[in-house]
Amino acid sequence: MRPKVEELAGIEWFRRLPAVHVAAAADACSVVTLARDEALYRSGEAPDAFFVLLHGRVGAWRGEPTDPESMLYFVSDRRHESLCLENVVADIPYFATMRGLVDGTRLLRVPATVLPAMLEADRELGIAIARHIAERLQAFTEQMTDLGLLPVTRRVAKFLLASQQAGSDLVVVPLRQAEVASRLGAARQSVNQALASLGQRGIIEAVGRGVYHLLDRPALVALARGGPAPGPGSRARGVVGSARVRDA
């Protein structure tokens, strides 16, 4: 299935291109639809394309998900998130195996052969790609540091804060329990114990499958920062994690 020219025009890498180049790219690109757990590409394969997430959710595993030492190190459901662009630019094999995490996940496939013409037509595109790669590297470096240094409860607290819905006290975790444990580099039992502890302390309350009501956000922020959770009434006292303090 070919993408529409209008679809490409809304994506960062194409929006500054002259119309003739956008039309040519649309003819060369395709839209891929994945079922849950279906692989988009596998670790070690040649980087013949990069991808842009159009709808759904994807996850990248280092190793196969069924392997005991595999790790889910990247999850995204953000529309127009770019995937493995750095592999195409550097011409290095895909580092991980990318899979769909929900049925009907749709991605734009941009062949590697299209990129040189795009760079020639848009002189600012190279800087934008370099910025994208630098931001991705910074995020992965922070994640690897967390996995190596932070206790499980702190990793869980940071993960829950990142999963909080905008403008809401709900935290939605769209991953299976085993996937959450893999994403946090911890045993499934350890993650479940941390969640149970947060519930017992009145910080979160499970209200559905993978859905939690955040009862005490200042306490969760304090735990994510590595400090002790403040006691009841902390929100009114303006302690660490209150509305006046920047989140971890």
Asked if 129 contacts 14 with a C-beta cutoff of 8 angstroms, the reply is no
243: pLDDT strictly greater than 70: no
Q: Per CATH, which fold does 151-237 belong to?
A: Arc Repressor Mutant, subunit A (1.10.10)
pLDDT of 111-137, one tens digit each? Answer: 999 999 999 999 899 999 999 999 888
Q: Outline where DSSP puts E strands in the chain.
A: 30-34, 39-41, 49-55, 58-62, 71-76, 82-83, 97-100, 105-111, 170-172, 204-208, 211-214
Q: Where are the domains of the chain?
A: 5-148, 151-237
- Number of residues written out for the chain: 248
The confidence score (pLDDT) of residue 232 equals: 53
Q: Per CATH, which fold does 5-148 belong to?
A: Jelly Rolls (2.60.120)
pLDDT of 53-112, one tens digit each? Answer: 999 999 998 877 677 667 888 888 889 999 999 999 999 999 889 999 999 999 999 999
Cα angle 58-15-46, degrees, rounded to a multiple of 5? 45
239: pLDDT strictly greater than 70: no
Asked if 211 contacts 183 with a C-beta cutoff of 8 angstroms, the reply is no
How many CA atoms are closer than 13 Å to the CA of 68, on its beta-carbon side? 0
Q: What is the pTM of this model?
A: 0.70
Nearest Cα to Cα of residue 217 among 165, 151, 145: 165
